[in-house]
Amino acid sequence: MKSVHFLLACVLLALASSLASAYDPNPLQDFCVAINNTETGIFVNGKLCKDPTLATVDDFTYRRFNIPGDTNNQLGRNATRLSVDTFPGVNTLGIILARIDYEPGGVNPPHFHPRASEILHVQDGTLYVGFADSNYTLFSTILYPGDLFAIPLGMVHFQVNIGKTDAVAFASFGSQDPGLVNVANAVFGTNPPIKPEPLARAFMLDVNVVKDLQEKFLSSDLAKKHVAACSTY
Amino acid sequence: MKSVHFLLACVLLALASSLASAYDPNPLQDFCVAINNTETGIFVNGKLCKDPTLATVDDFTYRRFNIPGDTNNQLGRNATRLSVDTFPGVNTLGIILARIDYEPGGVNPPHFHPRASEILHVQDGTLYVGFADSNYTLFSTILYPGDLFAIPLGMVHFQVNIGKTDAVAFASFGSQDPGLVNVANAVFGTNPPIKPEPLARAFMLDVNVVKDLQEKFLSSDLAKKHVAACSTY
Amino acid sequence: MKSVHFLLACVLLALASSLASAYDPNPLQDFCVAINNTETGIFVNGKLCKDPTLATVDDFTYRRFNIPGDTNNQLGRNATRLSVDTFPGVNTLGIILARIDYEPGGVNPPHFHPRASEILHVQDGTLYVGFADSNYTLFSTILYPGDLFAIPLGMVHFQVNIGKTDAVAFASFGSQDPGLVNVANAVFGTNPPIKPEPLARAFMLDVNVVKDLQEKFLSSDLAKKHVAACSTY
Amino acid sequence: MKSVHFLLACVLLALASSLASAYDPNPLQDFCVAINNTETGIFVNGKLCKDPTLATVDDFTYRRFNIPGDTNNQLGRNATRLSVDTFPGVNTLGIILARIDYEPGGVNPPHFHPRASEILHVQDGTLYVGFADSNYTLFSTILYPGDLFAIPLGMVHFQVNIGKTDAVAFASFGSQDPGLVNVANAVFGTNPPIKPEPLARAFMLDVNVVKDLQEKFLSSDLAKKHVAACSTY
Amino acid sequence: MKSVHFLLACVLLALASSLASAYDPNPLQDFCVAINNTETGIFVNGKLCKDPTLATVDDFTYRRFNIPGDTNNQLGRNATRLSVDTFPGVNTLGIILARIDYEPGGVNPPHFHPRASEILHVQDGTLYVGFADSNYTLFSTILYPGDLFAIPLGMVHFQVNIGKTDAVAFASFGSQDPGLVNVANAVFGTNPPIKPEPLARAFMLDVNVVKDLQEKFLSSDLAKKHVAACSTY
Amino acid sequence: MKSVHFLLACVLLALASSLASAYDPNPLQDFCVAINNTETGIFVNGKLCKDPTLATVDDFTYRRFNIPGDTNNQLGRNATRLSVDTFPGVNTLGIILARIDYEPGGVNPPHFHPRASEILHVQDGTLYVGFADSNYTLFSTILYPGDLFAIPLGMVHFQVNIGKTDAVAFASFGSQDPGLVNVANAVFGTNPPIKPEPLARAFMLDVNVVKDLQEKFLSSDLAKKHVAACSTY
């Protein structure tokens, strides 16, 4: 029953704002400032642009990216992800930024970006970071303020604030819409849920543990985040 | 101790055969038959080619892809993944195939391909399949012989043989080296392991369950597969 | 007179369904399910997408690709070519499949795909296959069930069923719209026809032989196929 | 005051015709003949196409590129730049041409193309040509009729007619909309002008010289060209 | 016997000079002047570059493209095709030129370029030109000096000098190695030959006519051209 | 005389370290850690990679990007540009970062990046920034800490510290080697110099002013920077 409501909320939110973003082919003119697909009801691979004669410097400017996100949630982290919806001049430019805030102990859980590589730039704090390549070799280290960490396209990676103070890092992506898949959610938090038996076999967990996980993921604040995410990305 | 040996085995195997494969930029000549990087000690983005005047029809031919793989393992499935190492004429062509065999109940666990979309083509059997998009919406269905299923670039997906007989499917990828990341392994089966505490928080599991999972993944036949994988892909 | 009717039929069929399909630039969002350009009257490089919130698993599923095509025609072969019109979830994924049926002696005549490389996968039968590179070196061999053959981008290739039973093969392409040009048709079967004198000189044939060929190609069942093709690809 | 009028003229002209052109991702169908975005009010990365069933050979033909441009201007040169607006069949083909006429002493001033490499082909006359790479090494030479000169993507380059007769050259670009930035105009001739003090420091010029330059550039026939340019590219 | 000798000649010539050329991915530095793969014995997708500190302006300059080619051959035309072997600075720039000379009645026979679109620019003479799209619709016209004709990627096209004087045209390609496949040669002039029976069926010709054509193509000056081509492209 | 020495110094420095960097085609394997071309004497479009089995987490980590650059120079700014030489794990990832420090009044002069778009992120200070599109329309604004500014591919742009304190900004680029061309240097500071007469005509300056500028640019600390640049990028 909960999942039905969840689904409804998700669909309604999705209807209210476009899921789609744009990305990587070379630009075909100086710029192509994004407009919202849902205004026109026309969807393309990427985004429609506004009339270039109406572009202004505000389209190319994003203000106040120095405001910390709210980390008061189960994982103790917050990601402020920009997109061509919030920063429309970036459309067709092939880059975007995100800001990640971490409280002490905060975890940016294992995830990957299906459409971009990343460079993480630590501004404050001490982060335990790593990525696994497709041979499951872990490349991990500890980053301090001013350090950079490169994460190749599509590799699963994570960060943990192992310091005693808040941390903040900025991520640069080589795509205007890198996408974000938290692997725990993609497995245990889908809507509708994946049947638990094959998940139990795949994760070598008891089927009841899997069911319990699915319940937790759909009712936790991760799930609430999830609702928001499904309507804005 | 086990993980040290594992690491050693992995490095030795890796030294014995190249990890790298090639993929997507347009071809720059009629063909570019791959040779093994390790022969020359020279590595490029992709693969070196053999002298084109020495190419033969055998480079463009792969025989006996109709031999079933051995599904006698924990997950009850086997993936025969081709690459430019085994099918060298495919280098720079931007496509590759894989064959997946499933015993009844066999599970191709949640995974994704960082560098390609896929079309799955069921030849025999009945498969429960699905993929989750980056909003964690699950697109799932049941496939019968002759059915096709498309999986967009980088989306987490799975298949389960829910029939009473063996099943076999062929996957086509839009890259010569799509890569393969099983998400359970990328989280619980890395080498060295990720620290268990943040994983516990990310997966809402007790830290001892995580430690137990990591132990299982590194000692199971999945881990043995993993050793093989680290030396051949 | 015949060719005028042919032209009319072709234009009418073309008006009734879009010629255009989509292909290779990287996807700019998780997916972009194709809708028919002709519904909107708007044409882009590729295809417009449906509102992503309305995508369903059916968009990503194609059923019954195991039904043989009708080979009762002059060449004794039938190609079932999928496209984003018939399998809309494939739009922006950069791959597509085709199925080719051959009766004994059936010929898939010399042709090429202007926008993709191909891997041919023989399921049943015995095929004499080959491609010519741009130096006119022929790479040819005989394929048996389970064999694969790679054909580089834009190279002229053919298959002949040299066995005593029906044959079937599946082709995977690294583009969602590889295109298909039968070279005999592109030379002798165009509408309107190319002037016969330069063709005679180019093919070292008597001009009357060329005129006869043009007549045959436009009145044969190849031409009828041609009508169908002009309205569906 | 002058610059306000200039701005108004520019905006009005811009409103009357689209600024945007198209370029480089692979084609997704045989062809995609451009139509003017402003007719539909819909703008994409590149150009919308006309219904492919309505394409004619005229879309793929451009006549009378052998008519000299008028070099009676301050620089003594004229560039006739084609685009998908004037040669619509070129849309998605990834190439375009330009014609440059030079009177004796005529100067095609230092400029670059942000989205394409170039090959310059001298038909008549004697040209002093060069480009500077990003280390400011100058590659310069003298070209005679029948000579070619290659200019890598984004490198600043120039030509000067050092002969006693008119000269003409044709430029081929690897993009359908290479763009053109004259560096003097991009620095001293912008609208509105850049503040003169930092320009003086950057160019090691007195601030009054910079102000004088800005005045000259906005009132010269270069500026008038500029108005035309802002409405047609 | 003849074909064996031909094969030997072809292999020997091929051994003496590289077949491979380069093309389309974006440049990764200011320039990458090609060197001959055969000097190093190392082959890549494209070409190795010389040390950039040793690049000179001569690498970016090609002289005397205004010298007519010899049209004294069966088809009465000559194509002077540039490549990164003869114009090394063009490597990674994504463009190349060719020059085609035609005597009166000269025929540039039906052919296509597997890796580039083309713009043909007529300098002198009167040409009957056309291309067939993948629906076999012919787009044809007559070009006069100063006219341009655009040919989309991979479409079969031809030119005929229908004037009374010599003609010359320049072709610009959106790739540094567009490739060239004459369809008559790719069908009737391969080495070794394609079996004649399926060709007869595909072209609706008597098998003896096909055998005769294959004989003619391999012994004509087209075949001699062919030998040269196999060793230089 | 001075320019001869300069040239010598430049060539020597260039010989000692590779000019080339890498950039944009999709990765063909998980990663491809750059090694220095000059070690092998082999140069490709981009960079050779080290044996992937020898990659370590240090390849993917860059430390201490929080150290300010020395702004004690004529322009009062310093750019710390990363590359695959200093951050080798970034090779094939399609992104890179730079850090720009500005003293009060410091000017990052008009320049462009031939191979990437940019997002500028202000950490401290107040910057007057702008870019000119190819119609010479100026998009300019004032940025404060936390503000972002997007600069499309190949557009000329600049920043000026108009605050009373030091400023620092970080630039993200959608290429691993965006390149950097300061337009003043590309015009007045090349080596060897461009002939002054056409520059005078192009910039509407007296020829002696141009000569004086050329002298200044080659002897200033910009020129010294230039020497360093020619040996390291």
Specify the CATH class of A2-232 in words: mainly beta
Q: Is residue D27 over pLDDT 90?
A: no
According to the annotation, is B226 in a ligand binding site?
A: no
The confidence score (pLDDT) of residue A106 equals 98
Closest residue in chain E to residue C188, using alpha carbons only: E203
Those of residues 35-54 in E touching chain F at CB distance below 8 A are 40, 42, 44, 46, 48-53
Is the CB of A55 inside 8 Å of chain B's CB atoms?
no
Q: Is residue E52 over pLDDT 90?
A: yes
The confidence score (pLDDT) of residue E26 equals 82
Cβ separation E43–B22 shorter than 8 A: no
Domain boundaries, chain B: 2-232
Q: Are F229 and F190 in contact (CB under 8 A)?
A: no
Closest residue in chain D to residue E175, using alpha carbons only: D174
Mean of the per-residue pLDDT values for chain A?
85
Is the CB of C141 inside 8 Å of chain B's CB atoms?
yes
Model ipTM? 0.85
Cβ separation D23–A29 shorter than 8 A: yes
Cβ separation F193–D134 shorter than 8 A: no
Phi, psi of F66 (to 5 degrees): -90, 10
The minimum CA-CA distance between F191 and chain D, rounded to whole Å, is 5
Residue range D165-180: average pLDDT?
A: 96
Partners of residue A46 in chain D, C-beta under 8 Å: 44-45
Q: Which of C30, C44, C53 sits opposite A44 (nearest CB)?
A: C44
Among A102-111, B219-228, F32-41, whose mean pLDDT is lowest? B219-228
Using a 10 angstrom Cβ sphere, with 0-12 exposed, 13-18 middle and 19 or more buried, the burial of residue C3 is: middle
d(CA A199, CA A206): 9
d(CA F88, CA B32): 26
The minimum CA-CA distance between D22 and chain A, rounded to whole Å, is 4
Is the CB of D21 inside 8 Å of chain C's CB atoms?
no
* Strand ranges in chain F using DSSP code E only, listed in sequence order: 61-62, 77-81, 96-102, 107-112, 118-124, 127-132, 138-143, 148-151, 156-161, 167-173, 181-182
Cβ separation E184–C202 shorter than 8 A: yes
Amino acid identity, position D102: Y
Is the CB of E158 inside 8 Å of chain D's CB atoms?
no
According to the annotation, is B118 in a ligand binding site?
A: yes
Closest residue in chain E to residue F10, using alpha carbons only: E53
- Chains in touch with D (3+ beta-carbon pairs under 8 Å) read A, C, E, F
For C45-101, the pLDDT digits (tens) are 889 999 999 999 999 999 999 999 999 999 999 999 999 999 999 999 999 999 999
The confidence score (pLDDT) of residue C126 equals 98
pLDDT, tens digit only, all 233 positions of chain A: 444 344 333 333 322 222 222 224 788 899 999 997 666 788 888 899 999 999 999 999 999 999 999 999 999 999 999 999 999 999 999 999 999 999 999 999 999 999 999 999 999 999 999 999 999 999 999 999 999 999 999 999 999 999 999 999 999 999 999 999 999 999 999 999 999 999 999 999 999 999 999 999 988 755 444 433 332 22
Partners of residue A117 in chain C, C-beta under 8 Å: none
Partners of residue F105 in chain D, C-beta under 8 Å: 201
- DSSP states of C34-98: B--HHHHT-B-SS--B--GGG--GGGGEE--TTSPP---STTSEEEEE--TTTSGGGTTS--EEE
Please name which of C180, C194, C147, C150 lies closest in space to residue C19, comparing C-alpha atoms: C180
Is the CB of B140 inside 8 Å of chain A's CB atoms?
yes
Cβ separation E21–B28 shorter than 8 A: yes
d(CA E99, CA A185): 59
The confidence score (pLDDT) of residue A37 equals 64
Is the CB of C90 inside 8 Å of chain B's CB atoms?
yes
Closest residue in chain C to residue A84, using alpha carbons only: C28
Cis peptide before C192 (omega within 30 of 0): yes
Tokens in use for A217?
């993921």
Q: Which of A75, A135, A183 sits opposite B183 (nearest CB)?
A: A183
- Chains in touch with C (3+ beta-carbon pairs under 8 Å) read A, B, D, E
Please name which of E145, D100, E35 lies closest in space to residue F45, comparing C-alpha atoms: E35
Is the CB of C181 inside 8 Å of chain D's CB atoms?
no
Is the CB of C134 inside 8 Å of chain B's CB atoms?
yes
Is the CB of E94 inside 8 Å of chain D's CB atoms?
yes
Phi, psi of F127 (to 5 degrees): -120, 135
Partners of residue C107 in chain E, C-beta under 8 Å: 198, 201-202
According to the annotation, is C118 in a ligand binding site?
A: yes
Residue F53, SS3 per DSSP: helix
Cis peptide before B145 (omega within 30 of 0): no
Is the CB of A78 inside 8 Å of chain C's CB atoms?
no
User: Which residues of D are part of a known binding site for Mn(2+)?
Assistant: 111, 113, 118, 157
CB atoms within 10 A of CB D228: 12
Closest residue in chain D to residue C230, using alpha carbons only: D53
The minimum CA-CA distance between F69 and chain E, rounded to whole Å, is 25
Task: Give every strand in the sheet of A167-173, ordered side by side.
Answer: A77-81, A96-102, A167-173, A118-124, A148-151, F61-62
The minimum CA-CA distance between E48 and chain F, rounded to whole Å, is 5
Strand (E) or helix (H) holding B202: helix B196-203
Residue range E63-74: average pLDDT?
A: 97
Cβ separation B48–E47 shorter than 8 A: no
For D94-105, the pLDDT digits (tens) are 999 999 999 999
Closest residue in chain B to residue E94, using alpha carbons only: B28
The confidence score (pLDDT) of residue A46 equals 85
d(CA B57, CA A167): 58
Q: Are F170 and A120 in contact (CB under 8 A)?
A: no
Is the CB of B115 inside 8 Å of chain A's CB atoms?
yes
Residue range F101-118: average pLDDT?
A: 97
The minimum CA-CA distance between E132 and chain C, rounded to whole Å, is 6
d(CA A103, CA A144): 15
For E128-172, the pLDDT digits (tens) are 999 999 999 999 999 999 999 999 999 999 999 999 999 999 999
Residue B226, SS3 per DSSP: helix
For D112-160, the pLDDT digits (tens) are 999 999 999 999 999 999 999 999 999 999 999 999 999 999 999 999 9
DSSP assignment letter at B2? H
Pairing type for strands E127-132 and E96-102 reads unpaired
